[in-house]
Amino acid sequence: MSSVQTVLAFGLTCHSAILGLERSAILGLDRSATRLNDVQRLAFGTSLTIDVRSLPLDYTSTRGLHHSAILMFGLLTLQGKVAIVTGGATGIGAEAVRIFVENGASVVIADIKDELGHSLATSFGSEKVSYRHCDVRDENEVEETVAFTVEKYSSLDILFSNAGIAGPYSSLLDLDLNEFDNTMAINVRGVAATIKHAARVMVAKKIHGSIICTASVASSVGGSAGHEYTVSKHGVLGLVRSACGEFGAYGIRVNSVSPYALASPLTCDALDWGPAEVDAAQHGSANLEGITLKANHIAEAALFLASDESLYISGHNLVVDGGFTAVNRWLPRIQK
């Protein structure tokens, strides 16, 4: 084995060991509300991969590089960008609208809850926020919403395809196929329609846009939600990965955010519980102690994926679950 092959093999072994250590350590750190994650990268020029000392100083400085290979990031910003947020009248969508606007974006709220949507839009007191009635099951309404956005704001840089329903909880033995079809029509077909028409604009206008879809921890594990919802969110994740493969050629990024249970209107309605009951159930099965997941946490994850801070991230499912899907939650009980 050559010296280069030896270094590469050793490097891969080390990185695998780090991943294993992270997944193991999370069990011991969760009770102190300590979060543990890793960053995996494709090869790029740093002091680890090139000897920057051999390059002229003006080469590194003009390209934003420094011999220490430390990157200093600015504030997240969507200044000058235009976004559509489906399901934007309440819950995660409404929080995303707020945080997108705070970071400089013009936003079209797309929803079927007209009174709430109009109220949210007018609360900003700005022409930068508009409401548009849009039932994502109707492709014509989706196409019209995209056209309205481009006509009013002259661009479309961000799609947050967030509209969805949870559907009733029932045994698979008693599955209502009409309810199943409706859930799939909103959660999967609706997402496909929004991606289709938003991406058409981005491709035609040569916009290196960002498409974010709301998936769920139910897209990673079974038994965490109703059957219809679980199937639909697996479909969303597949759609994200498939769209990523096609639209990468146009510089369009496609990602998803996967929330753990939170007391959103969607969850409360599906369970027929109040927010306090949902929060209590969440804490009962959560991995990360001392933190209650809220809609703004998901919106902030969507902001990251919408912004240029995630410029080389595509095809990724950003799980916001405090480690719920990463660990065997029964193991700590066995160890005790």
Domains held by the chain: number: 2
Domain boundary among 72, 100, 130: 72
The answer to whether position 190 is within a domain reads yes
Cβ contacts of 149 within 8 Å, gap of 6 or more: 82, 84, 108, 132, 156
Please check the confidence at residue 214 and state whether its pLDDT lies above 90. Answer: yes
Q: What is the mean pLDDT of residues 57-74?
A: 36
The predicted structure's pLDDT at residue 282: 57
Q: What is the mean pLDDT of residues 53-72?
A: 36
Question: What is the span of the domain harbouring residue 59?
Answer: 3-72
Q: Which tops the pLDDT comparison, 168 or 59?
A: 168
Domain boundary among 39, 72, 105: 72
The predicted structure's pLDDT at residue 5: 44
56 and 196 housed in the same domain:
no
Q: What is the mean pLDDT of residues 132-136?
A: 98
The predicted structure's pLDDT at residue 154: 98
Most confident of 52-56, 284-288, 289-293: 289-293
The predicted structure's pLDDT at residue 190: 98
To which residue do tokens 């998936």 refer?
215
The answer to whether position 152 is within a domain reads yes
Banded pLDDT at 268 (limits 50, 70, 90): very low
- Active site residues per annotation: 229
147 and 264 housed in the same domain:
yes
User: Pairing between strand 253-259 and 317-320?
Assistant: parallel
Closest CA to 229 of 188, 199, 279, 190: 188
**Which of 63-72, 162-171, 293-302, 309-318 is the least confident region?**
63-72
Please check the confidence at residue 124 and state whether its pLDDT lies above 60. Answer: yes
pLDDT in tens, 93-103: 999 999 999 99
39 and 106 housed in the same domain:
no
The answer to whether position 240 is within a domain reads yes
User: Pairing between strand 82-86 and 158-161?
Assistant: parallel
Structure tokens, 16: 């695998």
131 and 232 housed in the same domain:
yes
3-state SS of 142-191? HHHHHHHHHHHHCCCCEEEECCCCCCCCCCHHHCCHHHHHHHHHHHHHHH
38 and 93 housed in the same domain:
no
Residue 166 in contact with residue 261, Cβ under 8 Å? no
Domain boundary among 52, 72, 92: 72
125 and 273 housed in the same domain:
yes
182 and 44 housed in the same domain:
no
**Which of 40-44, 217-221, 237-241, 253-257 is the least confident region?**
40-44
The answer to whether position 230 is within a domain reads yes
Sign of CA dihedral 111, 112, 116, 118: positive
The answer to whether position 206 is within a domain reads yes
Please check the confidence at residue 109 and state whether its pLDDT lies above 60. Answer: yes
257 and 301 housed in the same domain:
yes
Banded pLDDT at 69 (limits 50, 70, 90): very low
- The CATH number of residue 245's host domain is 3.40.50.720
Task: Determine the 3-state secondary structure of 38 from DSSP.
Answer: coil
d(CA 297, CA 287): 16
Q: Which tops the pLDDT comparison, 6 or 82?
A: 82
The Cα-based distances of 154 to 80, 96, 201 in angstroms read 11, 21, 11
Structure tokens, 222: 């079974």
The answer to whether position 77 is within a domain reads no
Sheet holding 82-86, edge to edge: 129-133, 106-111, 82-86, 158-161, 210-214, 253-259, 317-320
Mean residue pLDDT of the chain comes to 78
64 and 95 housed in the same domain:
no
274 and 235 housed in the same domain:
yes
The predicted structure's pLDDT at residue 141: 99
The answer to whether position 328 is within a domain reads no
**Which of 13-17, 52-56, 228-232 is the least confident region?**
52-56
The predicted structure's pLDDT at residue 226: 77
Closest CA to 145 of 135, 154, 191: 135
118 and 59 housed in the same domain:
no
The answer to whether position 325 is within a domain reads no
d(CA 325, CA 88): 27
Per-residue buried b or exposed e for 226-249, using 16+ beta carbons within 10 Å of the residue's own CB: bbbbbbbbbbbbebbbebbeebee
Banded pLDDT at 10 (limits 50, 70, 90): very low
Please check the confidence at residue 74 and state whether its pLDDT lies above 50. Answer: no
Cβ contacts of 146 within 8 Å, gap of 6 or more: 84, 156, 197, 198, 200, 201
For 70-152, strand residue ranges (E) read 82-86, 106-111, 129-133
Q: Structure pTM?
A: 0.75
103 and 226 housed in the same domain:
yes
